[in-house]
């Protein structure tokens, strides 16, 4: 991957040329200037490149991947899953889902959070309504895949968030099984606090 270590203090959100509805979402969220990981990663992700991000929670990494994802979803088909974000815990999945709602609130893009410990019905309803972004924990997503509740054949972007934690929690076999349902031709992003 190219050098993501260069930093600049004069990069603004405007310099990313995001859709005006997404710019409004950034203002709604109260973000003023991009954080270092946002400055570094957003241009690459907007180009459709694969990205390996070393970033802790609290650095603004969620918006770093969510803003380019929302930009991609302003074009092309709606009402089918096009982005899959896999996260280790329901808390993290819920946070990512809320970030999608906050930043994408003025677009037509919909996000669904998919995790265990709660009923499947509302998640199935969200699939039927046609969420473009799925934020999922591995186990529950596999349950839905096994039951034929959701089809990942139109996924264009895969994000593995807190990948190191997912490995620690023993999710690697589950992730391998999920990958079999996702097209090989896609943009892949992996975020991890440690390498
Ligand atoms: P994260 O690292 O994605 O968990 O984000 C940490 C916190 O920073 C979240 O509460 C975000 O809403 C907030 N945040 C993300 N990007 C920015 C930004 N550019 N300016 C101010 N706050 C931000």
Q: Which residues contact 135 (CB under 8 A, 6 or more apart)?
A: 85, 87, 93, 94, 96, 97, 100, 111, 112, 113, 114
pTM to 2 decimal places: 0.94
CA distance linking residue 156 with residue 113, whole number of Å:
18
Q: How sure is the predictor about 185, in pLDDT bands with cuts at 50, 70 and 90?
A: very high
For helices 20-29 and 61-73, angle between their N-to-C axes, nearest 10 degrees: 150
Whether ligand 1 lies within 6 angstroms of the CB of 36 is answered as no
Q: Please check the confidence at residue 36 and state whether its pLDDT lies above 50.
A: yes
Per-residue pLDDT tens over the stretch 91-114: 999 999 999 999 999 999 999 999
Distances (CA, A) of 66 to 42, 95, 117: 9, 12, 25
Q: What is the predicted pLDDT for the residue at 66?
A: 98
How far, in Å, CA of 144 to CA of 51, rounded?
28
Q: Which tokens is 152 given?
A: 């990942």
163, 92 Cβ separation under 8 angstroms: no
* 61 CA closest ligand 1 atom index: 3
Residue of the nearest CA to atom 15 in ligand 1?
Answer: 60
Tell me the CA–centroid distance for residue 95 and ligand 1, in Å.
11
102 lines ligand 1 (CB under 6 A): no
- Phi, psi values for residue 49, rounded to 5°: -80, 155
In tens, the pLDDT along 107-165 reads: 999 999 999 999 999 999 999 999 999 999 999 999 999 999 999 999 999 999 999 99
Q: Which of 9, 31, 85 to mutate to test the pocket of ligand 1 (most atoms within 8 A of CB)?
A: 31
């Amino acid at each position: 991957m190219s050098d993501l270590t260069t930093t600049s203090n004069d990069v603004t959100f405007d310099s990313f040329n995001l859709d005006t509805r997404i710019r409004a979402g950034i203002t709604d969220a109260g973000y003023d200037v991009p954080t270092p990981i946002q400055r570094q990663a957003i241009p690459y992700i907007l180009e459709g490149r694969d990205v390996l991000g070393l970033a802790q929670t609290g650095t603004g990494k969620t918006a770093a991947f969510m803003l380019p994802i929302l930009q991609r979803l302003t074009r092309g088909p709606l009402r089918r899953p096009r982005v899959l974000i896999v996260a280790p815990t329901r808390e993290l999945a819920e946070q990512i889902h809320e970030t999608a709602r906050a930043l994408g609130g003025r677009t037509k893009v919909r996000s669904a959070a998919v995790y265990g410990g709660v009923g499947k019905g509302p998640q199935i309803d969200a699939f039927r309504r046609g969420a473009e972004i799925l934020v999922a924990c591995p186990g529950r997503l596999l349950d839905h895949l096994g039951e034929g509740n959701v089809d990942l054949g139109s996924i264009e972007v895969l994000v593995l968030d807190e990948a190191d934690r997912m490995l620690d929690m023993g999710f690697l076999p589950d992730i391998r099984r999920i990958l079999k349902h996702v097209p090989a031709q896609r943009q892949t992003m992996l975020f991890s606090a440690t390498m």
